[in-house]
Structure 1
Amino acid sequence: MITRVVTACMLLVVVVSQDPGFNDTCVKGMYPPPAQRGVKEYVLNLDLPPEQRWQQIASEKRHEIVALIIEFKKFLMEWGSGEIITIVDFLGDNIDAILPNPYRDEIKGIANATGIYEGEIFVYNIFYELFTVCTSIIAHDSTGKMYHVRNLDFGLFLGWDPKNRTWQLTDMLRPAIVNVDWQRGGKTVFKSVNYAGYVGVLTAIKPNKFTFSLDERFSVDGGYLGILVYILEKTGSWTSLLAREVFENAIDFADARDKLANTQLIAPGYFILGGTKPGEGVVITRNREVNGTDIWAMTDKTAGGWFILETNYDHWKKPLVVDNRRDPAINCTQKMGIQNAGFAGLFNVLSSKPVLNKLTTYSALMEVDSGKLETWLQYCPDPCEPW
């Protein structure tokens, strides 16, 4: 069975592995970062046939996608996850039958635009489904304005570069990060942060409606098992594709919450969902099956009152001692205070070690009323965890 260990998504709560002797501090004055750390935005026209939608992004980012696929396949074989490669080889030309439309035709279009085999684009897409670790935060300021921020960390155990003291895959991912403005009829439906060639949604905002981030939940209830069940029985939804469907179709926060909470999945996860009003912030803890779903609201006495945050552990349990990003993030958020909640204050939290770590690829900042999405590439200078 695949061990789901590698990616991290943060909603305003997370830090990576913590050395008890490490000097964690809450930094200030980090916003705005240098302009060169900004991420390019592309328009994706949903009115186009699925095969054509990703053509510009896939063509411009072809070399980045190829390099990442090579690295992903190397990891899958080296770390005992060759089952995924076996599945792809077994299905052969029928690989596209695994996914429903429009996703399978979009993957065909990406394959055509890049010259990459469809099965490899498929592996590239499901890799994020199985290996994502994150920190996410939802907060409102003293006027009630809602913010949702997140760090996405990816690349643990994927090629340590001893000379530069960085993770090779983390370095390779940053150039592939894009902002996507999903439009229909020339108008924005929603915006997201994507790795080029990835058709699902991990971080997104629907202006004046809701915001979202997806964090990994480590569990044996999913991964390889979930994929096999899906292939054999065609039951369950891919977490990131469900999120995309919610952004295309849900009409408001409540509608989005209900769909995320009550749809059977292929893999467990944490859905972090923010709305437009104070109190409209939840962490939805999911099993593959709908039974066992937990909805934790920012109004709960165990949350922060004016904020809620999630890393990669159930909120009613203590995080692993070696991966306690939660407490430092909470500490920095509380020190920031509701009076400083906003892009600058929250970016400082995301830039504080160990919330910021060597696996952090980007920080995303979202403000639902304006529909504003900012994405900044992140780097963690030494000393920095892990390692």
Structure 2
Amino acid sequence: MILRAVGACLLFVCVMAQDPGFNDTCVEGKYPPPAQRQVKEYVINLDLPPEQRWQKLASEKRHEIVALILEFKKFLMEWASGEIITIVDFLGENIDDTLPNPYRDEIKGMANATGIFVGELFVYNIFYELFTVCTSIVAQDPAGKMYHARNLDFGLFLGWDPKNRTWQLTDVLRPAIVNLDWQRGGKTVFKSVNYAGYVGVLTAIKQNKFTFSMDERFGIDGGYLGILEWIRDKKGSWMSFLSRETMEYAPDFAAARDKLANTQLIAPAYFILGGTKPGEGAVITRNREVNGTDVWMMTDKTAGGWYVLETNYDHWKKPLFLDDRRDPANKCMQKMSIKNTGFAGLFNVLSSKPVLNKLTTYSALMQVDSGTLETWLQYCPDPCEPW
């Protein structure tokens, strides 16, 4: 966290020196976006052997996956002096001893289908444990109908392009975004939003059961430290693998909440969960260890009452002054009001700066009763905050 804060301060000075500035406002009329920004859906057949499940998607999106891996490795060389690449390359040769199944065989199957080195695909699949910022909202309408919306912002510190005023990795990520329909026996088990070739789950919906999103929680007790500890003694669960298992097997909101709150992790996290009943919205603030877990319910008097909102800071603390998306988002939620809760209202909130910023890759909208998942590519025209 200290290194990130120092890096953020330095980058803030450089970037904001060229920023024309803007007044954050709550926008309206942004939904629906142009049709070409809607994300394509693919089927992941869970009845297939793990090594075959991703072959078609990985083959179609090979170019996008390679471009992403090149950006990741560029960052690691510049920021970690190649040490992490050395570790990951070593693990790639021994991936049978590194990841649990079915993830191990799925990644190996993708490597076989695309010709991409398995260690590089491993880098790709663990990177979310280390570096992202996000905004997640669970809200109910006046009838108690539940909605879940999120922005996924990715690419902080990963190559700021001062000429085009964009993050290089963020630009590379957008073409790789896909919706996935996870099926068994020809029927949908759950749906998710993924970067092509990423086998974990960051944003997902299980019809008539619950909705889910995950935001990174910054902290010293996690990230690289957790990965190194896991290499040593296999202690803890990868966040996105735990969330995928939760989506696949948890029968309801309560079971999902308990699993996410009580499983040891490799890195700290915020798990945002929505259910089917009024008041079933929660932010689960996690340490790596299960002790200290905080479950903040929508019905808590410190929450919105009819909604709960999380960015990347503990809800009982003030956000970092360089990165306050929470207060503008709450301002726009209050302006929207419960009577306007729905895809249009929530998309407007997610499209309001600085909730929408240069790091934003997509906005996802979910409604649990219908099982609807809409994902839209997002862009933030200038003037716009870098994060």
With the shorter chain as reference, the TM-score category is: over 0.9
1:341 is matched by which residue type in structure 2? T
Single out whichever of 224-233 and 299-308 deviates more from structure 2: 224-233
Question: How far off its partner does 1:20 sit?
Answer: 12
Q: Secondary structure, in 3 states, of the residue corresponding to 1:385?
A: coil
Matches of 1:51 and 1:210, distance apart in 2 = 28
Question: How far off its partner does 1:92 sit?
Answer: 4.9
Question: How far off its partner does 1:4 sit?
Answer: 6.5
Residue pair 1:97, 1:104 contacting (<8 A) in 2 also: no
Partner of 1:29: 29
Residue pair 1:279, 1:298 contacting (<8 A) in 2 also: yes
Q: Residues 86-235 of structure 1 correspond to what in structure 2 (within 5 A)? A: 86-235=86-235
Question: What per-residue deviation string (whole Å, max 9, x for no partner) do you get for residues 131-171 of structure 1?
Answer: 12110000000011000000000112212223322111111
Question: How far off its partner does 1:230 sit?
Answer: 1.1
Matches of 2:92 and 2:195, distance apart in 1 = 25
Question: What per-residue deviation string (whole Å, max 9, x for no partner) do you get for residues 330-353 of structure 1?
Answer: 000000010000000000000000
Matches of 1:312 and 1:114, distance apart in 2 = 35
Partner of 2:351: 351
Residue pair 2:92, 2:120 contacting (<8 A) in 1 also: no
Partner of 2:9: none
Q: Secondary structure, in 3 states, of the residue corresponding to 1:322?
A: coil
Question: What per-residue deviation string (whole Å, max 9, x for no partner) do you get for residues 94-139 of structure 1?
Answer: 1232110000000001111111000000001111121121100000
Partner of 1:247: 247
Partner of 2:272: 272
Partner of 1:385: 385
Residue pair 2:216, 2:312 contacting (<8 A) in 1 also: yes
Question: How far off its partner does 1:25 sit?
Answer: 0.6
1:54 is matched by which residue type in structure 2? W
Q: Secondary structure, in 3 states, of the residue corresponding to 1:90?
A: helix
Partner of 1:52: 52
2:176 is matched by which residue type in structure 1? A
Residue pair 1:2, 1:80 contacting (<8 A) in 2 also: no
Residue pair 2:21, 2:383 contacting (<8 A) in 1 also: no
Matches of 2:269 and 2:291, distance apart in 1 = 14
2:224 is matched by which residue type in structure 1? Y
Matches of 1:317 and 1:344, distance apart in 2 = 30
Matches of 2:347 and 2:84, distance apart in 1 = 36
Residue pair 2:154, 2:359 contacting (<8 A) in 1 also: yes
Residue pair 1:2, 1:224 contacting (<8 A) in 2 also: no
Q: Secondary structure, in 3 states, of the residue corresponding to 2:125?
A: helix
2:355 is matched by which residue type in structure 1? V
Matches of 2:224 and 2:381, distance apart in 1 = 35
Matches of 1:41 and 1:169, distance apart in 2 = 22
Structure 2 residue 259 is matched with structure 1 residue 259 = yes
1:203 is matched by which residue type in structure 2? T
Matches of 1:193 and 1:355, distance apart in 2 = 19
Matches of 1:109 and 1:129, distance apart in 2 = 22
2:280 is matched by which residue type in structure 1? E
Matches of 1:52 and 1:90, distance apart in 2 = 25
Question: How far off its partner does 1:366 sit?
Answer: 0.2
Q: How many residues align?
A: 375
Structure 2 residue 53 is matched with structure 1 residue 61 = no
Q: Secondary structure, in 3 states, of the residue corresponding to 1:105?
A: helix
Question: How far off its partner does 1:229 sit?
Answer: 1.3
Matches of 1:191 and 1:129, distance apart in 2 = 21
Q: CA RMSD in A?
A: 1.7
Q: Secondary structure, in 3 states, of the residue corresponding to 2:322?
A: helix
Structure 2: gaps (5+ residues): 6-15
CA distance 1:47–1:155, shift in 2 (3 Å) = same
Q: Secondary structure, in 3 states, of the residue corresponding to 1:137?
A: strand
Question: What per-residue deviation string (whole Å, max 9, x for no partner) do you get for residues 57-95 of structure 1?
Answer: 101100000011011011011012633212123335212
1:340 is matched by which residue type in structure 2? N
Matches of 1:102 and 1:294, distance apart in 2 = 30
Question: How far off its partner does 1:26 sit?
Answer: 0.4
Matches of 2:262 and 2:21, distance apart in 1 = 42
Matches of 2:207 and 2:230, distance apart in 1 = 33
Q: Secondary structure, in 3 states, of the residue corresponding to 2:135?
A: strand
Partner of 2:287: 287
